């Protein structure tokens, strides 16, 4: 059997690998997605009309603030500068002052570009273009989602991150501490490792029965 997993962008890669393997008749004992959201699904749609939306948005904003103030001072400054630059670009495009393009690729929406050399930025661009164009197909098995309390600032706020509409076998949600960027940093890393290890043990036990 196959034990697959991926973080963030890598979660979508693991999902597609698992889907294709199952399509070929292979057994997927575990598909673990770590802080990964599916692209081009209803999760990205903002349900303003739902009565719960304001409540969900407020709770999520609190998580964002907690994560923000948990950063080092330099990290907070960098985060604010990057988000402000991204906002200005979006406003210029919205009012026709930027480059003419229906959906331009802006790496700053995803990463802090100043932290990467040019060759890595080119790889990031390839990855982001690929994930932006990816249309996930249904998966016949079960997904195990490891997720923090926070979600993207604007989304459907689905607790399953939108994977429920794709996974016929359902979604098991395992809560983990930290923020999206800090799950591999202590002390959060050891908690994630323990929960992932327990998940692997359970998957191995199920395949033996």
Please report, for the domain that includes residue 61, its CATH number.
Answer: 3.40.50.1820
What DSSP assignment string belongs to 185-206?
Answer: STTHHHHHHHHHHHHHHHHHHH
Taking CA atoms, 10 is separated from 69, 75, 81, 97, 122, in Å, by 27, 24, 27, 35, 17
| pTM of structure | 0.82
Q: Is 28 helix (H, G, I), strand (E, B) or coil?
A: strand
Task: Clarify whether residues 49 and 109 are in a common domain.
Answer: no
Q: Is 109 helix (H, G, I), strand (E, B) or coil?
A: helix
Torsions phi, psi for 34 (to 5 deg): -105, 110
pLDDT value at 99 more than 70: no
- Measured distance CA(11)–CA(1) in Å, rounded: 18
* Residue 8 structural domain: 1-71+137-209
Number of domains within the chain: 2
Task: Clarify whether residues 44 and 145 are in a common domain.
Answer: yes
Task: Clarify whether residues 54 and 152 are in a common domain.
Answer: yes
Point out the domain boundary residue: 109, 135, 161: 135
Q: What is the pLDDT of residues 146-165, one digit of tens each?
A: 999 988 888 899 999 999 99
pLDDT value at 93 more than 60: no
pLDDT value at 170 more than 70: yes
Task: Clarify whether residues 59 and 127 are in a common domain.
Answer: no
Confidence label for 108 from pLDDT (cuts 50, 70 and 90): low
Name residue, tokens 């989602």. Answer: 145
Confidence label for 91 from pLDDT (cuts 50, 70 and 90): low
pLDDT value at 8 more than 70: yes
Give me the pLDDT at residue 199, please: 96
Q: What is the mean pLDDT of residues 107-134?
A: 80
Side-by-side strand order, sheet with 143-147:
2-7, 28-34, 143-147, 171-175
């Amino acid at each position: 059997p196959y034990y697959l997993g991926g973080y963030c962008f890598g979660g979508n890669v693991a999902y597609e690998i698992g889907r294709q393997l199952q399509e070929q008749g292979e057994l997927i004992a575990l598909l673990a997605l770590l802080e990964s959201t599916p692209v081009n699904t209803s999760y990205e749609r903002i349900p303003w009309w739902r009565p719960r939306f304001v409540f969900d948005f407020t709770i999520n904003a609190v998580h964002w603030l907690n994560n923000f103030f948990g950063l080092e001072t330099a990290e907070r400054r960098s985060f604010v500068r990057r988000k402000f630059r991204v906002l200005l670009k979006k406003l210029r495009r919205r009012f026709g002052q930027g480059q003419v393009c229906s959906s331009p690729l802006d790496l700053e929406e995803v990463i802090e570009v100043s932290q990467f050399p040019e060759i890595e930025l080119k790889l990031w661009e390839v990855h982001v273009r690929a994930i932006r164009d990816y249309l996930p197909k249904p998966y016949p098995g079960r997904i195990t989602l490891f997720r923090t309390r926070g979600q993207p600032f604007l989304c459907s706020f689905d607790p399953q991150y939108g994977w429920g509409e794709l996974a016929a076998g359902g979604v098991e949600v395992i809560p983990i501490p930290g923020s999206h960027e800090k799950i591999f940093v202590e002390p959060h890393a050891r908690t994630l490792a323990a929960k992932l290890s327990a998940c692997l043990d359970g998957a191995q036990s199920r395949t033996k029965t």
